[in-house]
Amino acid sequence: MKVLVPVKRVIDYNVRPRVKADGSGVDLANVKMSMNPFDEIAVEEAIRLKEKGHAEEIIAVSIGPAKAQETLRTALAMGADRAILVETDDAVEPLAVAKILKAIVDEEQPGLVVMGKQAIDDDSNQTGQMLAALTGRPQGTFASKVEIEGEKVTVVREVDGGLETVSLSLPAIVTTDLRLNEPRYASLPNIMKAKKKPLDVKPAADFGVDLTPRLKVLKVSEPPVRQAGVQVGSVDELVAKLKVLGFVA
Ligand code: AMP
């Protein structure tokens, strides 16, 4: 079976985002961009499924600017077989991404779509669920374990206060949580090899999906600055302060 892995180019998770002076968004000028960390986990999982003999081909897909080719090359260097860039310079919201992914799913017919649970730039946590709804495929979200047996995939999900295990019929959609695996680094020879792997570029306009935003960002603001701490001289003093703050009765 084929495994489709959508990967998004986002601000690198090590970068401390700077909010633009006018509060209209995050400043992306000269900022390091990388693959969304949950998508790296998705690529890794797809590779492991291939290594176990469950998958024959891994296709990475990104919807974004020409520079998202770098993100796709990273996926290829990790072990994906080919890549598709759906090129657009516009910001694309989860519903539009899901609609474009649906068109790709219809064309490629992957047995499994493995994608991130959330993109760390918009924190939407919507695209996988919307893709499942649009394709009518079952979904296993927030996966911390994925196991394929015959026509079924068992997904252990991280839910509030514990784990939930669900069994889905293939074809299915799985979204990854942090503990699913530890993504591999691409080796230098694999980075070189990835340059020769196929990467198709298709204009987003070809998909006939309305990309007009449905949301308007009114304001983005920095989190409140943390107050400096104080050193206490004794446990009694600490308890007294906690009482004042209401943490201790
Ligand atoms: P979100 O719903 O925006 O939090 O994103 C959830 C997941 O959908 C991401 O981890 C990606 O796997 C996928 N995704 C979202 N936007 C894109 C995009 N522009 N290109 C490729 N995949 C995307």
Could you report the per-residue pLDDT of 111-157, keeping only the tens digit for each? Answer: 999 999 999 999 999 999 999 999 999 999 999 999 999 999 999 99
The DSSP string of 37-93 is HHHHHHHHHHHHHHHTTS-SEEEEEEEE-TTHHHHHHHHHHHT-SEEEEEE-SS---
Q: What is the pLDDT, as a whole number, of residue 150?
A: 93
C-beta of residue 153 within 8 angstroms of C-beta of residue 112 = yes
Q: What is the pLDDT, as a whole number, of residue 45?
A: 98
Q: What is the pLDDT, as a whole number, of residue 222?
A: 87
54 Cβ neighbours under 8 A, 6+ residues apart: 1, 148
C-alpha 94 to ligand 1 mean position (Å): 7
C-beta of residue 59 within 8 angstroms of C-beta of residue 180 = no
| Whether residue 116 has its Cβ less than 6 Å from ligand 1 | yes
What stretch of H or E contains 179?
A: none
What stretch of H or E contains 81?
A: none
C-alpha 98 to ligand 1 mean position (Å): 8
Nearest alpha carbon, ligand 1 atom 13: 6
What stretch of H or E contains 158?
A: strand 152-159
Digit-coded pLDDT (tens) for 181-230: 999 999 999 999 999 999 999 999 999 999 999 999 999 998 888 888 88
The length of the chain is 249
CA atoms of 208 and 62, how far apart (whole Å): 17
Q: What is the pLDDT, as a whole number, of residue 247?
A: 87
Question: Looking at the predicted structure, is the pLDDT value of residue 249 above 90?
Answer: no
Nearest alpha carbon, ligand 1 atom 6: 118
| Whether residue 62 has its Cβ less than 6 Å from ligand 1 | yes
Exposure string for 36-60, b = 16+ CB within 10 A, e = fewer:
bbbbbbbbbbbbbbbeeebbeebbb
C-alpha 116 to ligand 1 mean position (Å): 7
| Rounded (5°) CA angle 91-97-102 | 160
Q: Stretch 60-69: mean pLDDT, rounded?
A: 98
C-alpha 15 to ligand 1 mean position (Å): 19
Q: Hey, CA dihedral for 196, 198, 201, 204, is it positive or negative?
A: negative
In a 3-state reduction of DSSP, which class is residue 11? strand
Ligand 1 pocket test target in 3, 5, 7, 8 with most atoms within 8 Å of CB: 8
Nearest alpha carbon, ligand 1 atom 23: 8
Q: What is the pLDDT, as a whole number, of residue 227?
A: 87
Preceding amide of 171 cis, omega within 30: yes
- Amino acid of residue 88: T
Q: What is the pLDDT, as a whole number, of residue 4?
A: 98
Question: Looking at the predicted structure, is the pLDDT value of residue 102 above 90?
Answer: yes
C-alpha 124 to ligand 1 mean position (Å): 9
- Report which ligand 1 atom has the smallest distance to the Cα of 115: 12
Where does residue 68 fall: left (phi above 0), alpha (psi -120 to 50 degrees), or beta otherwise? alpha
CA atoms of 80 and 184, how far apart (whole Å): 12
The structural domains of the chain, with segments of one domain joined by +, span: 2-245
C-alpha 96 to ligand 1 mean position (Å): 10
List 146's β-bridge partners, or say none. Answer: 155
| Whether residue 7 has its Cβ less than 6 Å from ligand 1 | yes
Does domain 2-245 fall into CATH 3.40.50.1980?
A: no
C-alpha 169 to ligand 1 mean position (Å): 23
Digit-coded pLDDT (tens) for 17-59: 999 999 999 999 999 999 999 999 999 999 999 999 999 999 9
Residue whose tokens read 């077989």 = 81
CA atoms of 230 and 211, how far apart (whole Å): 51
- Report which ligand 1 atom has the smallest distance to the Cα of 131: 8
- Structure token digits, residue 114: 């493995």
Q: What is the pLDDT, as a whole number, of residue 51?
A: 97
Ligand 1 pocket test target in 92, 112, 127, 139 with most atoms within 8 Å of CB: 127
